[in-house]
Amino acid sequence: MDWDDLKVFLAVARDESLSRAGKRLRRDAATVGRRVSKLEADLNARLFTKSPQGYALTEAGSRLLAHAERAEQASLSGADELKGQSGQLSGQVRIGATDGCASYILPQVCARIQREHPELELQIVALPRVINLSKREADMAITVSPPQAGRLTVQRVTDYHLHLAASTDYLRDAPPLERLEDLRNHPIVG
C-alpha cells in the first residue's frame, strides 16, 4: 500500500469531498479521485460511498481510517524525533472546546503549557457544537459528554455541574418554585 494513497484517503475521509481534499493536498480533484480508485482497486474494497452530501466512509473505509491515522501519527512522530525534538514538544495542536471552556479556562492552561514548550503552537477552537475529531476539526477536544463513536482515547477531566439561577426581582414576581415540575411555568435561558 502506497503512503501517498493513504494520505489522499485521509484527506477525502476528513473533508468528505474530492475538491476540498484536493485543495488540502494541492492536487486536482480528478487526481484525488483516481488515487482513491487506485487504492480501492489495490485493496479490493470500496472505501467511500458518494452521495449529494459528499463522500462518506463505508464500513471498510472506517476500518482503514483507524490504521491510516496511526500510520500518519507514526510518520509525524518519527520526523519529530529525527529533528531532535523528542524531549521538547513542538508543532501545532488544535484544542476544541465549548465557548465557556475555550474563553475562560483554556487560555490559562495553554499559556502554562506553552511556557514549558515554546516550540509548541496551541490553538483553541471554540465551537457551539460537538467538535468532529475524525474530520480533524481539532486534534483534541474538551466536551461535556464522551464521544459515542470513533477510536478515540477518552479521559475524564472533572465533574461538570449546571445550576439554575434567577434574580430576586424575577422570583418575587414569578409563580412559586417549590418542586422540579414548577420549572414548566418559568422561561429558562440556556
Is residue 6 helix, strand or coil? helix
Report pLDDT digits (tens) over 40-97: 999 999 999 998 888 999 999 999 998 888 888 888 777 767 766 555 677 888 898 8
pTM flag (> 0.85): no
- The CA distance from 167 to 80, in Å, is 54
What does the radius of gyration of the chain's CA atoms come to, in whole angstroms? 23
Return the CATH number of the domain spanning residue range 3-82.
1.10.10.10
| 52-57: long-range contacts, CB 8 A cutoff, minimum separation 24 | 53/16, 54/16, 54/17, 55/12, 55/13, 55/16, 55/17, 55/18, 56/16, 57/13
Report pLDDT digits (tens) over 98-141: 888 888 889 999 999 888 888 888 999 887 777 777 777 788 88
Question: Could you give the C-alpha distances from 90 to 120, 123, 175, in angstroms and in order?
Answer: 4, 13, 57
Same fold yes or no, 3-82 and 91-142: no
What pLDDT, on the 0 to 100 scale, is given for residue 47?
Answer: 96
User: Is residue 12 scored above 90 in pLDDT?
Assistant: yes
Q: Using pLDDT thresholds of 50, 70 and 90, give the confidence band for residue 154.
A: confident
Tell which CATH classification among 3.40.190.10, 3.40.50.150, 2.40.50.140, 3.55.40.20 matches the domain 91-142. 3.40.190.10
Q: Where are the domains of the chain?
A: 3-82, 91-142
